[in-house]
Homo-oligomer: A and B are copies of this chain.
Amino acid sequence: MSHTLRLTGRLEPRGAWTAERCPIARTLQVVSTRSAFLILREAFYGTTRFDDFAERVGISEPVTAARLRELVEHGLLEREDYREPGQRTRRQYRLTSRGAELLPVLVALMQWGGRWLDEHGGPVTLLHRECGEPVSAELRCAAGHHVDDEELELAPRRRTATD
């Protein structure tokens, strides 16, 4: 069985074009390391402090500092200084809306690893609070249909008049 997408319009055949402006490649320039993904995981899990990111991701302080700086520069995390009475000023980091929209990427990585790399499906599970059912990242079209691989088409994006 073939798992390739059907290419349409000027995208067929594949040899006739180059993947310029590839949004997958661009995203991976912004989130470019395993530790960047794991810092984002921690931000979704509620971690905010430098020391906690370093410890929970299992990376050194210099690496943590570099990753947090990059994620702030790219607008995925925002830095906020805070001070508890009698303590020095500390920094905390929170997901921006832009960063939070990466959640489907992390959920898709989680479900693949749970399915293929862990005999018990992984240690944690995401649930829909309202109904208690497990949650996954799945392909759906704007009309709400579940879409299987073989129903997918890759097409050139039509530019609108205002582009």
Interface residues of A (CB under 8 A from B): 1-8, 11, 14-15, 18-30, 32, 34, 37-38, 41, 43-47, 52, 56, 94-95, 97-118, 120-131, 133-143, 145, 147, 149, 151-157, 159, 163
Whether A46 contacts B5 in the complex (CB less than 8 A), given A122-B21, A151-B130, comes out as yes
Oligomer copy total: 2
Complexed CA–CA distance, A157 and B122 (Å): 7
Complexed CA–CA distance, A159 and B125 (Å): 11
Most chain B C-beta atoms within 10 Å of own C-beta, residue among A6, A15, A28, A124: A124
B residues near A151, Cβ cutoff 8 Å: 128-130
Q: Are A32 and B34 in contact (CB under 8 A)?
A: yes
